[in-house]
Amino acid sequence: MDSQHDLVVQQFAPRAAAYASSPTHAAGPDLTAFQSLLQAAPVMRLLDLGSGGGHVSFHASPYASEVLAYDLSTDMLDMVAAGAALRGLTNIRTQPGRAEHLPFPDGHFDMVASRYSAHHWRHLPAALAETVRVLRPGGQLLMMDVFAPADPLLDTFLQTVEMVRDPSHVRDYSLHEWRSLLHDAGLAPGTVTTYRLRLEFQSWVDRIGSPESHRPALRSLLAGAAAEVKRHFAVETDGSFTIDTMLMVATKES
């Protein structure tokens, strides 16, 4: 394995169809809120950064003149193209590449949106710097992702189960970390809306293809967690649990 980027492709390319059809990824209150923001203020060019199965692109398409789905995995992008064709969405195109290197002119996009991708990025500050560069002045970044609790106990537990399930995981950042990272990149963090997302254990491990040897370890971690961990993550007897997600809006300063 040459790099973290290669590991991400290895993990997700064989699972492209699973993520394209995943109910967890295809819908949610964050996508509804995202679409409402676009409906109120349509844009010309939107970049779906780390597009995965393309659900951000599909929701953005009616309210943007051009949507570019950008992802490491060409298998994922094939699913985006197929999904766009199936839906009759003709303004979506795809391009492979890394979040840390965006081959687009300065100020090219009115909006960059990303969902459930940034916790896999090898160099988040570099990716945010590139995001700022390709955004026009006054343009917005809409970041939708899992976020880590501020409590170290809860944070460590979340990062551990994420890594055991999927070795391409890098980090779920806290809200404080996100605000600091966005500010340092030259973005003004604005509104943040938080949600709770229930993860059904079996579909959670099946979707990413977690090794069979890792699944008992995950169940053991969940069953053996401290009482306050179980309360926060609403751990259920079958291993299902609930995580925190966010929609954070940030604006490129003029």
CB neighbours (10 Å) of residue 244?
20
Kindly compute the dihedral angle of the four CA atoms of residues 37, 43, 49, 54, in this order, to the nearest 10 degrees: 80
Could you tell me where the DSSP H helices lie in the chain? Answer: 4-12, 16-21, 23-26, 29-40, 55-60, 74-87, 124-134, 152-165, 175-185, 201-208, 214-223, 227-233
Confidence at residue 2, expressed as pLDDT on a 0 to 100 scale: 61
Confidence at residue 17, expressed as pLDDT on a 0 to 100 scale: 84
Confidence at residue 151, expressed as pLDDT on a 0 to 100 scale: 98
Confidence at residue 84, expressed as pLDDT on a 0 to 100 scale: 96
Residue in 118, 246, 253 with CA at minimum distance from that of residue 176 = 246
Three-state DSSP class for residue 103: coil
Confidence at residue 167, expressed as pLDDT on a 0 to 100 scale: 93
Whole-angstrom distance, CA of residue 173 vs CA of residue 155: 9
Q: What is the H or E stretch that residue 146 is in?
A: strand 135-146
Q: Is 53 exposed, middle or buried (0-12, 13-18, 19+ CB in 10 A)?
A: buried
| Cβ atoms of residues 181 and 128 within 8 Å | yes
Three-state DSSP class for residue 85: helix
Confidence at residue 1, expressed as pLDDT on a 0 to 100 scale: 45
pLDDT < 70 regions, the chain: 1-2
Confidence at residue 39, expressed as pLDDT on a 0 to 100 scale: 95
Confidence at residue 254, expressed as pLDDT on a 0 to 100 scale: 78
The DSSP bridge pattern shows strands 92-96 and 43-49 to be unpaired
CA 24 vs CA 19, 55, 115, 154, 253: distances in Å: 9, 10, 12, 22, 33
Confidence at residue 75, expressed as pLDDT on a 0 to 100 scale: 93
Q: 0.85 cut: is pTM over it?
A: yes
Whole-angstrom distance, CA of residue 88 vs CA of residue 81: 10
Which domains does the chain carry?
Answer: 4-149+168-198+244-252 (3.40.50.150)
Residue in 189, 185, 59, 175 with CA at minimum distance from that of residue 113 = 59
Whole-angstrom distance, CA of residue 99 vs CA of residue 31: 21
